[in-house]
Structure 1
Amino acid sequence: METAIGAASWLVGKVLNKLSNDLVSSYVASTELGFNSEQIKTKLKYMQGLLDAAQDRDVSSNRGLQSLLEDLSNKADEAEDVLDELHYFMIQDKLDGTKEAGPDLGDGLRGHALHGRHAARHTIGNWLPCFSCSRSRTQDDGCGTAIAITSNPHNATKSDSGDDGGCVLKLKFDRVAMSNKIKSVIESIHNLCDPVSDLLNKIPNNNTTITTKRLHTGSTVAQDKLYGRGAIFEKTINALTNGTYDGETLFVLPFVGPGGMGKTTFTQHLYNDESIVGHFNVRVWVCVSTYFDVPNLTRQILGCIPAVEKEEHNCSVETANLDQLQKSIAERLKTKRFLIVLDDIWKCNSESDWNNLLAPFKRGETKGNMVLVTTRFPSIAHMVKTTDLVELHGLEPNDFLEFFEVCIFGHSKPVHYEDDLIDVAREIVKKLKGSPLAANTVGRLLRNNISREYWIRVLEKNEWQNAKNDDDIMPSLKISYDYLPFLLKKCFSYFALFPEDYKFYNLEITSFWTAIGIIDSSYQNNNNYLEELVDNGFLMKGVDRYDDQYYVMHD
């Protein structure tokens, strides 16, 4: 349902953008249609606002709303097509010096129209099918290029107007047919707005859709051995215990990486290491997940800190307000060195919220106190860090193979494994890109049938992609995708058209998104969607040999 809401909101927004175009807006507001352009846009903006607000609501069980949203999306899609068609004819008017498609808007827009000629020429092949043109054969047009010979109700003709000598196929404008199409599709959208609005307003506002999908974590280590990561583990232990961080009262050290990279497992081993236990007087583990609420997190943290004698600010954890909670934390930690783990942070509304959460931890008398943060979002890691963050990538091949074997067999491999199965296991390992969660997912599949035929089938069909449990690799990664705004989902989905490890450059991919209609070149709000995908952990940045920045997708 979230996808249906996102699609409807996105398409309604595209119609709004089209209606805001000077040329199109003038036609829609003309006496031929009898519409009030501003009223149309106001109603669409209201609908878009409701759809945006509904993104955080659980509407999955409302089948009637689902159907209405699909109808709204279809009509908005039709409206965009017909307004694109009208825009084409208006540009053609300006190029030919005619006034078939609208009133004379003055010479001030001629530059805009001439600029648009290039878009018309390069995209006409895609537009023609929308105008019911059928290509039957081609011939040279006398300008050195081949043009389509068509039979269509618009009676397409050739036009060679313009400053650059280019030739494009000209379609004949039918004012009555165009007006009827616009009026029909706009009225259809209007008729859908009221029932959709009514249903959306009756859905309670809550934020449980993604929160309920996250598994809560604790400090207890489920994996007895930490596979790989030995060097970074020892380096982190030494930094936390040998005085590296003794210069300030509080440090924040984030561990960041995509879902399934073992951030929580790594931090659990740190938290329970003997050196850490001996160095910090107080240790607290809190799973944050998608609900970053300062009073609630403060309450959880206070509940894990042992009380001290004769507390001046002793309060009830359940009923105290934030001020009382923070004073009590500060008093209990005043003379103690402490370690706080905030695991699996998905969002933090602002730096002020973050600073508010940390306020009582900065009032202690000891140095070298630590807050460890795990997150899959680089933007969060950079916001909270006070020292260099730690990026966790896939395990090295040898370490990963060892861990993969443990996921399948435990610590007792069958006698025929080395002869019959290890070559298949190595091929599967290559596909899993060093992800510990992927190893766990596939390991559960393979242990069901220890035969070469079954393992080859799993390898060739990538059967782990169908695993549906919350702790399987694909559901875990899909949560990150579900968390994206709809427009970023659309942008990200088109990366599937490119080969693995392809290097994306900003202008190249942005032009591509614009050409296929995902984003509107005239209304981007200076958004850098590639950077937003980096912030959400889907892309990484690099620099090529010419010092140009590129983006590449995470494995």
Structure 2
Amino acid sequence: MDALLSAAQWVVSQALAPVADGMLQAWGDTKNLGLNIEALRMELLLVKATLETASHKQVDGPAMQELLGKLRDSALSAEDLLDELDYFRIHDKLNGTSDAADQHAKGGVHDLALNARHFAKAVGKLPFISSFCCSAPSPAGVGREVEEARQRASCCALPRAMQRSRGNSSSAPNANEEVSGCMPKLGKLLPCSSSPHVHDDRSGQPTLCGAPHGETPMPQFNRAHISERMRHIVEQLQSVRKEVTQILQSCDPMTIPDISQSRPITTSQSIEPKLYGRDHIMDTIIHDMTNGKYLGHDVTVLPIVGPGGIGKTTLIQHIHRNQQVQNHFQVIIWICVSLSFNLNKLLEEIKTCIPPVEGEKDGKVEDLIEQRLKSKRFLLVLDDIWEFSDRDDWKRLLLPLKTSQEPGSMILVTTRFPEIAKMVGTVNHIELQGIESEEFRKLFLAFIFGNEPVRSDSIVCSRLEIR
């Protein structure tokens, strides 16, 4: 048990390494993958916290061992995927298409070697390699050669330009021997390798995957496929992590902390008196809810997506307290969901927020909600949703809400994760971006000076230095 737990912790730490400095996140933003990477990073952090909790508890047994094994395997998948993305990031940098990448301190050939190592690592993890090795007939001893080729694959990815750049370096002959030695072995792994020989007769230099001399073959970047893989891995991690957490809590509910309690509880009351840079989007949402395209629908679910601290909750708080919204909806409910999507708890909170009606009959929570919402237009805010362990829970939540019989009811959802928005939304989600520079300047000055007038840039500078 201890060995399996330690192995799972180590794998999770390795998986978090590529996203530790924020460079992969920055690169992912340019590929429309930033939110997916952040979702995977946050889930890995939650898994890490769960494993740290488990390490302090004497919990053992076949079931727990199997769950830890699943966490380890899913974390390995996350590590593989993030390593592949890191390869593409470095490739973009070395080819001048991105600024979010590392450079080797010595430059030149060392940058090429860095690129080659990441390429070889990514190639070694591509699915077609394992399927090719398992399905194709192989002579005796090829398994050993495959393993050796994987271990030495980095030398095979070095472009021909590397040899030219070495000049009179004494290490060049040894490197050339390594290239020659591992090329035929790696070639057996790659079905795209068309040359039956190690060397091209015309140049005497190795080729790989039909790539022209001097070029490193490039695995195809498929954003949609990578996004789907990320979503699947996050779902796997969430599902198993929740099971492990429940086991830990059942063992010692007095001492094992609930990780979800680390999230702050939001309310409908905003502490920010003014909303900066969001007036247009707020006015659009209010208009669509009260006079626009959502008015004729039964129940519309509008998700608002963005990273932590971007202003999702603040935006919804200002919409919630808008007088036009208050007059339009007969029932307004605010629920902070946070990390734990507990259906029974949510239904109970919703019931509590709806005033009782005359002549209502006792029954299940769902029945009471139906009776109290009948012929009423409602606005339900579900703030800060992090996960769903069971997709059917969302359908069960909607059932009593869809019986209001009054068109124009709304559910506003805030979340960091696009996959959750796609799951719950009945319309396209709104993705919040950073505010414009001028609005940010106003917000910044408001934080520094409050209601005091700002007279000049020199005063601004002096006040900043003092504070």
**What per-residue deviation string (whole Å, max 9, x for no partner) do you get for residues 130-172 of structure 1?**
xxxxxxx94664x993779xxxxxxxxx99997526999xxxx
Greater RCO, CA 8 A, separation 6+: 2
User: Residue deviations 1:15-48, cap 9 Å, x none?
Assistant: xxxxxxxxxxxxxxxxxxxxxxxxxxxxxxxxxx
Q: Are the counterparts in 2 of residues 160 and 167 from structure 1 also a CA contact under 8 Å?
A: no
Q: Output one character per residue of 1:289-324: Cα deviation in whole Å (capped at 9) or x when no partner.
A: 0111111000001001001001023x5xxxxxxxx0
Which residue of structure 1 lines up, in the alignment, with residue 279 of structure 2?
A: 230
Q: Does structure 2 conserve the Cα–Cα contact (< 8 Å) formed by 1:211 and 1:290?
A: yes
Deviation of 1:208 (Å): 4.0
Match of 1:450 in 2: 463
Say yes or no: does 1:334 pair with 2:328: no
- Cα 1:113–1:419, aligned 2, differ >3 Å: closer, same or farther? same
Contact residue 6 and residue 55 of structure 1 kept, 8 A: no
Q: Does 1:211 align with 2:266?
A: no
Q: Residue type matched to 1:232 in 2?
A: I
Instruction: Give SS of 2:382's match.
Output: strand
Describe the SS at the equivalent of 2:458.
helix
SS at match of 1:381: helix
Separation in 2 of the partners of 1:11 and 1:450? 42
Name the residue aligned to 1:353. 393
Q: How high is the TM-score relative to the length of structure 1?
A: 0.45
Give distance in 2, aligned partners of 1:220 and 1:140.
68
Corresponding position: 1:363 with 2:412:
no
Query: Following TM superposition, by how much is the alpha carbon of 1:216 offset from its aligned partner in structure 2, in angstroms?
Result: 0.3
* Structure-2 residue corresponding to 1:402: 442
Q: SS at 1:145's partner residue?
A: helix
1:303 match: secondary structure: helix
Structure 1 residues 312 and 243, CA, compared in 2 at 3 Å: closer, same or farther? Answer: farther
Q: What amino acid sits opposite 1:386 in the alignment?
A: T
2:323 pairs with 1:283: no
5+ long unaligned stretches in structure 1: 14-51, 66-72, 74-105, 126-136, 149-157, 169-199, 316-323, 423-448, 456-555
Q: Classify 1:112/1:280 alpha carbon distance in 2 versus 1 (closer, same or farther; 3 Å).
A: same
1:414 Cα deviation after fit: 6.0
Pairs aligned (count): 291
Aligned pairs for 1:404-443 within 5 A? 404-413=444-453, 418-422=457-461
Matches within 5 A, 1:55-454: 56=50, 59=53, 62=56, 107-108=138-139, 110-113=141-144, 115=146, 118-123=149-154, 138=170, 141=173, 145=176, 164=198, 204=251, 208-313=257-362, 324-413=364-453, 418-422=457-461, 450-452=463-465
Structure 1 counterpart of 2:305, which letter? V
8 Å contact kept, 2:333–2:381: yes
Written as runs of structure 1 = structure 2, the 5 A alignment for 1:15-54 is: none
The offset of 1:56, in angstroms, is 3.3
Taking a change above 3 Å as real, the CA distance of residues 235 and 109 of structure 1, as seen in their structure-2 partners, is farther
Instruction: Give yes or no for contact 1:161–1:167 (8 Å, CA) kept in 2.
Output: no
Cα shift at 1:64 = 11
- Is contact 2:288–2:295 with CA below 8 Å preserved after alignment? no
CA deviation profile, 1:393-422 (whole Å, cap 9, x unmatched): 11111111101111122111465x521435
Q: Secondary structure at the match of 1:255?
A: strand
4+ runs of 1 displaced by more than 2 Å?
Answer: 3-13, 52-65, 106-125, 137-141, 143-148, 158-163, 165-168, 200-210, 449-452
* Residue type of the alignment partner of 1:56: T
Work out the CA distance in 1 between the residues paired with 2:368 and 2:175: 82
Distance 1:250 1:419, change over 3 A: same
Label 1:351 to 1:376 Cα distance change in 2 as closer, same or farther (>3 A): same
Q: Does the Cα contact within 8 Å between 1:59 and 1:203 map onto a contact in 2?
A: no
Whole-angstrom distance in 2 between the partners of 1:159 and 1:331: 73
Counterpart amino acid of residue 441 in structure 2: L
CA contact (8 A) 2:375 2:406 kept: yes
Structure 2 residue matching 1:393: 3-state secondary structure: coil
Is the partner of 1:450 in helix, strand or coil?
helix
Q: Structure 1, residues 205-252: CA drift from partner, whole Å, max 9, x if none? A: 778453121110110121111111111111111100014223331110
Say which SS state the counterpart of residue 285 (structure 1) adopts: strand
Tell me, in whole angstroms, the C-alpha distance in 2 between the residues paired with 1:291 and 1:235.
31
- Alpha-carbon distance between aligned partners in 2 of 1:53 and 1:225, rounded to the nearest angstrom: 37
Check 1:450–1:144 CA distance in 2 against 1; reply closer, same or farther (3 A cut). Answer: closer
Q: Which has the higher strand share?
A: 1
| SS of alignment partner, residue 427 of structure 2 | coil
Q: Is the 8 A contact 1:284 1:305 kept in 2?
A: yes
CA distance in 2, matches of 1:296, 1:405: 41
Gaps of 5+ in 2: 16-45, 60-71, 73-136, 157-168, 186-196, 207-246
Amino acid at match of 1:122: A
Q: Are the equivalent residues in 1 in contact too, given 2:149–2:182 (CA < 8 A)?
A: no
Classify the secondary structure of the residue corresponding to 1:223: coil
1:389, CA displacement in angstroms? 1.1
1:294 and 1:114, CA in 2 relative to 1: closer, same or farther beyond 3 A? same
Taking structure 1 as reference, are residues 345 and 205 closer, same or farther at Cα in structure 2, changes over 3 Å only? Answer: farther
Residues 334 and 107 of structure 1: CA distance in aligned 2, closer, same or farther (over 3 Å): closer
What whole-Å deviation, never above 9, does each CA across 1:364-409 have from its counterpart, x for those lacking one?
A: 2111111110111111111100012111111111111101111122
Cα 1:202–1:252 change in 2 (3 A) is closer
How much has 1:451 moved relative to structure 2? 4.8
Letter in 1 for 2:50: D
TM-score by length of 2: 0.53
